[in-house]
Amino acid sequence: MKNFALIGVGGYIAPRHLKAIKETNNRLVAALDVNDSVGILDRFFPDVSFFTEFERFDRYVEKLRRQDPARRIDYVSICSPNYLHDAHIRFALRVGANAICEKPLVLSPWNLDALEEMEAESGKKVCTILQLRVHPSLVALKDTLAAAHEAKPNQQKHDVILTYITSRGPWYHNSWKGNLDKAGGVATNIGIHFFDLLIWLFGAVQNSEVHHADGHRTGGVVELERARVRWFLSVDRSDLPQAATDQGLSTFRSITVDGKEVEFSEGFTDLHTVVYQRTLEGNGFGLKDARPAIVLAHEIREAKPQGVSSASHEFLQE
């Protein structure tokens, strides 16, 4: 049984981490959140020590390290806002623990360089949650694509269309998630999953164009080794297709490969536990795995949008 500490335990995603820690038969020993709405702890780990001040949390974790080997922290799970991840990862490594950090691991590629050095110095590991890489339909797609590529290595690039609309109300834009410096914008906060997935499926980035970007939606084209991808991401309800709105849905997720729909809308809920299992087996997604999508998301954030054309995703052309 491994001992965990969790940072950001009062937020939206923390329950999936609490569930994953419990379902992998480990225990939460300490938790931190600057906000004290954390009654959820009783449902998972009623005896956990909870802190609202980092300094007291740090003191407690250090005390366990020096005086209580049985409860020394092995893993720190990080569910804090994106811009705090690297600081919280450094805390984990400093107290002799491994880090399991939410996506995006960091906002800028150079933050990874510093973490790589610290990982080597500490002998501990930094892993992230990229749960789409363990989604059964997407794993099956990867296998199919790999087999097709092996059979015909010189085939034409795949034509891929990614459309991902997940509506968020006004709160999103007034929270840290709507703040470019803290979340990285829609392409980073939401898009990182898909950029990672696309690179994982179709190979390294060769070229990237951004056609449109505002606080609610963004889209462009990315050229990968084995695919040309038109992509569109939005957190605005008004971008949902009529068919989704008619069904009362608030999300629309679609990936087509050469005109064929990849069905992946179901099966999202337990993926954190699967990522934890892999991580605990020493097979997690590390700094090197995370880097290509972080580089692309950063490039997209910095790019000047070129404007919409007939080459753009059709949702941008409407």
Q: Is the separation of the CB atoms in 90 and 63 below 8 Å?
A: no
In whole angstroms, give the CA distance from residue 197 to residue 308: 24
Q: Are 236 and 165 in contact, with CB atoms under 8 Å apart?
A: yes
- The per-residue b/e assignment along 200-222, b for 16 or more CB within 10 angstroms, e otherwise, is bbbbebeebbbbbbeebbbbbbb
**Residue from 22, 40, 84, 278 binding ligand NAD (CB under 6 A):** 84
Q: How far is the CB of 228 from ligand NAD (least distance, A)?
A: 26
Closer CB to ligand HP7, 110 or 171, in the complex: 171
Q: How far is the CB of 239 from ligand NAD (least distance, A)?
A: 20
Query: Can you tell me which of 86, 102, 119, 196 binds ligand NAD, judged by CB under 6 A?
Result: 102
110 near ligand NAD, rule: CB under 6 A: no
CB of 307 to ligand NAD, least distance (A): 29
- Spacing of C-alpha 303 from chain mean position: 21
Q: Which of ligand HP7, ligand NAD, none has residue 216 at its interface (CB below 5 to 8 Å by kind)?
A: none
Among the listed residues 32, 89, 127, 190, the single contact to ligand HP7 using CB under 6 A: 190
Contact pick of 250, 265, 283, 309 for ligand HP7 (by CB under 6 A): 250
Task: Provide, rounded to whole angstroms, the least separation between the CB of residue 186 and ligand NAD.
Answer: 12
For 161, 164, 187, 238, the CA distances from 255, given in Å and listed in that order, are: 6, 8, 16, 20
C-beta neighbour count of 262 within 10 angstroms:
18
* Three-state DSSP state, 51: strand
Q: Contact region for ligand HP7 (CB under 6 A) — 44-52, 92-100, 188-196, 284-292? A: 188-196
Which spans of this chain sit near ligand HP7 (rule: CB under 6 A)? 12, 103, 166, 168, 177, 189-190, 193, 250-251
